[in-house]
Amino acid sequence: MIATRVLAVDPDRPDRRALAEAAAVIRAGGLVAFATETVYGLGADATREDAVRRIFAAKGRPASNPLIVHVADVDMARGLAARWPAAAQRLAEAAWPGPVTLVVPKVERIPAIVTAGLDTVGLRVPAPAVARRLIEEAGVPLAAPSANRSEHVSPTRAEHVVADLGGRIELVLDSGPTAVGIESTVVDLCGDEPRVLRPGPLTRQRLAALLQVAVGEGATAHGPARSPGQHGRHYAPRVPALRVESLQALARLRPEAGDVVLVVGREADLPAIEGPVVRLPDPETAAQRLYAVLRDCDERGARRLLVLMPPDEGAWAAIRDRLCRATTAG
C-alpha cells in the first residue's frame, strides 16, 4: 500500500504547485491519475519501462493490452511516430485536442511494454488544460489507460479513481467530472483504409466525412490482433446486468423493486415499473452519465440492472458497444 494523495485543481486553470507536484511524481517514475475530456487516465512516463510496468500492476491489466500515449500537441505526436500518414495530419488538425486516438507506426523511444509488443502506438492530445499542462510540465509523453481496475467501469470522477486505485498510486488530480464521459475513438491509420478499432465520441460517419474516404471497423488481417483488450467482459459493473432491445423484452424480465431500469435513447412510455428508472435520452447525455450510473448501481446494491438499449444507429454506436460489454443479453 502507498498513500494516495488527492489534489483538487481547476480543469481550465490548474494550480501551478499542484501541476509541479504531479510532474515531479511522473519524473520519479510514479503514477498520477488525471482527467481527460473522456475519462480519468492513469499516467506514467511513457518512455520509462519501469514506470509503465507499474500501471499494469496497479490496474491488474494483462500485458497484452496496449496503452494510449498522451501528448501535448501535434508536434509531440509526430515525434513518436515512425510514419505520419496524411490521414493522421488531417485528423489531428480537425479533431485534436479531442477524444480520438490515432494508431500509427511507433519510434524506438516508446518501449515495447507500452504497446504490448506491437510496432504501432496509439496517440492522442487530450482537451483539458490540466492534462496538457501536466504533460508539458513533466516534459514526457504520458502512457495512460483509463484509471480503473482492469475490466471494471472507467472512472469519470476522481472518487471513482480512488475507489478503484486508492493505495496503489501516488496522486490523483481531481478536476471534477469529465465532460464527454466515454473513452476516445481509436482509429488505426497503418493500413490502406482507416479503421475504427474502438467506437467512441467521434463517430465513424464523422471520421469518413473528415477524411473523405470510407472508414472500416474492427481489426484487419494486416497485423497482429489490432484491438487487443477489445474482447470479453469489460466496463462491467458488479451488479448482474441484462440488456434488451424492446419494451416487450423488458416486460418479460419482470422488473421489480430492487432492480434499476436504464432506458437509453427512447422516448417510449414504460409500463408501470417498480423501482428506479434512469433515462439517458441522447448520445451526449448517455456518454456523460453512463459510467456513473453503472457505479451507482453497485453502490446502492441494486438487485439487477436492466438496460433497454438505444437504437442500432451510428450516433449510438459507442454507447451500444460499451453497454454490450457491460451486460449480457436478457
* Binding interface with ligand TXA (CB under 6 A): 36, 38-39, 41, 65-68, 99, 101, 103, 115, 118, 120-122, 124, 144-146, 183-184, 186, 197-198, 226-230
Q: Examine residue 146 and tell whether it contacts Mg ion (CB under 5 A).
A: yes
Residue closer to ligand TXA by CB (options 137, 259) is 137
Indicate the residue whose CB is closest to Mg ion. 146
- Residue 101 or 146: the one with the smaller Cβ distance to Mg ion is 146
| Torsion angles phi and psi, residue 24, rounded to 5 | -65, -40
What's the rounded Cα separation, in Å, for the pair 101 and 207? 12
CB of 197 to ligand TXA, least distance (A): 5
Instruction: Indicate the DSSP class of residue 265.
Output: S
The partner in contact with residue 47, picked from Mg ion, ligand TXA, none with C-beta cut-offs of 5 to 8 angstroms by kind, is: none
Tell me which residue has cell 438487485: 303
Cβ 184 to ligand TXA, closest distance in Å? Answer: 4
| Residue span binding Mg ion (CB under 5 A) among the ranges 66-74, 95-103, 145-153, 186-194 | 145-153
Cα(329)–Cα(307) distance, rounded to whole angstroms? 10
Locate the DSSP E strands across the chain: 5-8, 32-35, 40-45, 68-70, 100-105, 120-124, 142-143, 171-174, 185-188, 195-198, 216-217, 241-244, 260-264, 277-280, 305-308, 328-329
C-alpha cell at 110: 516508446
Distance of CA 48 to the CA centre of its chain: 22
Whole-number Å distance between alpha carbons of 89 and 75: 10
What does 122 interact with, of ligand TXA, Mg ion, none (CB < 5 to 8 A by kind)?
ligand TXA
State the binding partner of 76 from Mg ion, ligand TXA, none, CB within 5 to 8 A by kind: none
Give 142 or 308: the residue with its C-beta nearer to ligand TXA: 142
CB-CB contact of 129 with 14 (8 Å) = yes
Min CB(31)–ligand TXA separation in Å: 13
Minimum distance of ligand TXA from residue 303's CB (angstroms): 29
Asked if residue 184 binds Mg ion (CB under 5 A), the reply is: no
Residues that bind Mg ion (CB under 5 A): 146
